[in-house]
Amino acid sequence: MKLTDPAIVSLATAKSLLLDPWGLSEDDMARAIGEIFTHKVDYADLYFQYTRSEGWSLEEGIVKTGSFSITQGVGVRAVAGEKTAFAYSDSLSSDALLSSARAVRSIARQGAGKTKVQTGDDQRHGQSLYAPVDPLATMTAPEKVGLLERIEKMARARDPHVAQVMASLGMEYDVIMVAGSDGRLAADVRPLVRLSLTVVVERNGRRETGHAGGGGRTGLGYFSDETLTQYVEQAVHEAMINLDARAAPAGEMTVVLAAGWPGILLHEAVGHGLEGDFNRKGSSVFTGRIGQRVASKGVTVVDDGTIEGRRGSLNVDDEGNPTQRNVLIEDGILRGYMQDTLNSRLMKTAATGNGRRESFAHLPMPRMTNTFMLSGSTPPEEIIASVKKGIYAANFGGGQVDITSGKFVFSTSEAYMIENGRITYPVKGATLIGSGPEAMNRVSMIGDNMKLDSGVGTCGKEGQSVPVGVGMPTIKMEGLTVGGTA
């Protein structure tokens, strides 16, 4: 097998955790795939996974929860045309593997299929986007609790109005291996950490909340005092600003989105509609529009799973395909969709490294990795100065979108009025309402300050959750509907 060093390390780790303890070998994987192909199927694969996770939460200086879990298993998939059969087992024995293989082959009619069952000739190059560390082992349990205690003390010291502090720490060591009927054999060792902070401030009987946090594919050393200070300042600032916020106005107006996390609007309102399965089925507003203008000139949207250390990045996706940088919209023109293996084959296009699944117990589907809009050339101050009256959305809370219509609703967690080119006072209760394609065609100015989020995104689709990244520069959108409470 001709593999680069990162791939060799990942494969060796995967075999040591997923095959060796159970007496399994590559021959057993080939035998299971061969068992599936005693019937006529187009493709089959095995997805092995070992995940060790740990979490701690602190509230009012007291450890509220501590958790630890280990999960492992294998998912077996067979594809025939548009049909998919799937079985999984949390046992990694040879008998369980063969039993799952026999179950999924029933999808196809009788008669032998053609397959390349050997799993030892994969020659694709490995990526090394993050070190294969075990985050759980990068600190002791007392040190992990101490990290939460430290950020709580920092938050309370930041402002005397801080009345309550809640912090949580999560870490995961995830090892996967994929064997496909086309001969592919790929593995990945995926660390992931995340710290979340919530503060409640109180003044004159009024209480408000602020949130912050971040992380990435690294060890717990990521959370330096400098990083913790940034989280504290952001959470306390958001909460204190909302103490002074007035009711947001309602109506159609100009909206300026800040750089960074507000890219979640792009993720929801546009990103999901560019996933291959929705377009193959004709249920997306972007179906059949490749080569057409779907956004204002200057709008370029990218999904990139190859950014080092980012929460949404992967060396290989959950089908063993290397992740890549995919330009989805270029200068306002739709260039392509995000694809997994199944949908790319049915749509007669290439897979893009976007096949993702929550675990071995789930089927893969086209999903985003790190999705963002590229910078323009306008300084953010000029964008603000160009607005006579509007809303500046500095941060978002929740939101939802309808894929078929593209309509979205997003609530702001930090927002301000813009009057005569100046940010004046904070507003509370502002919601942004619109359609993804329409909103992208109303982008009139694009800032030169593209920023990715801090590493907190989790995307849900059809009951599956996966970590993602988002980002954007400051942008100005004309005539967006704002729902308010004034």
What is the pTM assigned to this prediction? 0.94
Q: How confident is the model at residue 5 (pLDDT cuts 50, 70, 90)?
A: low
What average pLDDT does this structure show over 416-437? 94
What is the per-residue pLDDT for 211? Answer: 97
Report the first-to-last Cα separation within the chain, whole angstroms: 66
Position 110 scores a pLDDT of 55
Distance, CA of 407 to CA of 387 (rounded, Å): 25
Lowest mean pLDDT among 84-93, 107-116, 241-250, 272-281: 107-116
Rg of the chain's alpha carbons, rounded to an integer? 24
**What digits encode the pLDDT tens for the residues 18-32?**
999 999 999 999 999
Q: What percent of the chain has pLDDT over 90?
A: 87
Residue 486: the pLDDT is 63
Tokens of 16: 């040591």
Q: Which pLDDT score is estimated for 117?
A: 46
What CA–CA distance (Å, rounded) separates 210 from 162? Answer: 10
Q: What is the mean pLDDT of the chain?
A: 93
Instruction: Give the residue, 486 or 46, on which the prediction is more confident.
Output: 46
The pLDDT value recorded for residue 194 is 98
**pLDDT at residue 319, as a whole number:** 97
Rounded to an integer, the average pLDDT of 39-53 is: 95
Per-residue pLDDT tens for 88-106? 999 999 999 999 999 998 8
Flag whether pLDDT at 59 surpasses 60. yes
Supply 30's token pair. Answer: 């080939």
The pLDDT score that the predictor gives to residue 121 is 45
What residues does 178 pair with on adjacent strands?
A: 47, 186
> In this structure, which amino acid lies at residue 323?
T
Structure confidence by residue, pLDDT tens digits, 60-81: 899 999 999 999 999 999 999 9
Q: Residue-wise over 57-88: b if at least 16 C-beta within 10 A, else e?
A: bbbeeeeeeeeeeeebbbbbbbbbeeebbbbb
Task: Write out the two tokens for 162.
Answer: 């801080």
The answer to whether the CB of 219 falls within 8 A of the CB of 455 is: no
If pLDDT is split at 50, 70 and 90, which confidence band does 404 have?
Answer: confident
The mean pLDDT of 157-181, rounded to a whole number, is: 97
Q: What share of the chain is helix, strand, coil (3-state, %, to 5)?
A: 25, 40, 35
pLDDT at 8: 85
Q: State pLDDT tens for residues 337-354.
A: 999 999 999 999 999 999
Euclidean distance between CA atoms 427 and 417, whole angstroms: 7
Helix/strand/coil (H/E/C) assignment for every residue in 118-148: CCCCCCCCCCCCCCCCCHHHCCCHHHHHHHH
More confident residue, 229 or 117: 229
Q: Which whole-number Å values give the CA distances from 18 to 10, 84, 179, 251, 255, in the listed order?
A: 12, 25, 12, 57, 51
Percentage of the chain modeled with pLDDT above 70: 95
